[in-house]
Amino acid sequence: MASSATERTGKWPVHGWIGLALIAVFWTLNWSLPGLTHWGFFPLWLGYALTVDALVFRRKGHSLLTRSPAAYAGLFLVSAPAWWLFELINLRTQNWLYLGEETFTTLQYALFSTLSFSTVIPAVFGTAELVGIWGRLKPPGPGPVIRPTPPVLGGMFAAGGLMLLLLLFWPTHFFPLVWCSVYCLLEPLNVKLGNRSLFDDLARGDWRPVIALGAGCLICGFFWEMWNFYSYPKWVYRIPYADRYHLFEMPLAGYLGYLPFSLELFALYHLVAGLFLPGGNRHYLRLIDAES
């Protein structure tokens, strides 16, 4: 198996060409034809996800898509409801809104939004795998060891619940906690249910998966904000006490939210996978090159 993967390394797969073509076409259309973005967002980000997956395949000989097309499709299915969770919280915090939303019926808005949201997890996980290859992520020694002991898990879950309550009751002051609270609530559940957890690595002092996830999501964040800037419909932000020094529509401080957001996506995916798939797809996502 390892030899066949090695033989394929270096080849650019067909889905990579499809991805590049989708990016070229829909990047151009989204920026040049106002009002098309609700049609063009999904194929643009599908193109990104396929291109990143092809880059991983070229280096490793396997990737999220080629390891299991069915599991890859599952990433899209989990991604949409995962982001709808944050849209639900945003009804209270009101940190972002969509210009042009009023031109759609409720059904149209729900359908186009769900299709667009389905690309979040495939893009982030694919980019995280790519980061794991490029950087090799080899620190000089092991990092801090954090074991999932009952006090750690209990404290984490309690902190997540407290953070959620704070941001719901006082969203103007505590809105940033949305990017930590969900992870703190879900990761202890994953440990208790026997699902894959970042504690699998942190218990050994291995922080490379955390770094790969954070860096991968930050890279996606840059492209999300860049491609959004000249698009329409588009999103804009209303962020109390941090709405300055923008890079595209996003205030610079807002990019920090992408780091813990990546951990929430990891926890959400493995919670759902643990509920519906035998073994919870524990070994599907390979964030560091050593796992390949």
Confidence of residue 8 (pLDDT cuts 50, 70, 90): low
Answer for the pair 195, 274: CB distance below 8 angstroms, yes or no. Answer: yes
Number of domains in the chain: 1
Q: pLDDT digit string (tens) for 21-65?
A: 999 999 999 999 988 899 999 999 999 999 999 999 999 999 999
Q: Are strands 250-251 and 96-99 parallel, antiparallel or unpaired?
A: unpaired
Range of the domain at 282: 2-291
Q: pLDDT digit string (tens) for 105-117?
A: 999 999 999 999 9
Residue 127, beta-bridge partner list:
none
Confidence of residue 10 (pLDDT cuts 50, 70, 90): confident
C-beta atoms surrounding 7 within 10 Å: 10
Residue 143 to residue 81: CA distance in whole angstroms:
34
Model confidence, pTM? 0.93
Q: Which residues contact 127 (CB under 8 A, 6 or more apart)?
A: 52, 216, 217, 219, 220
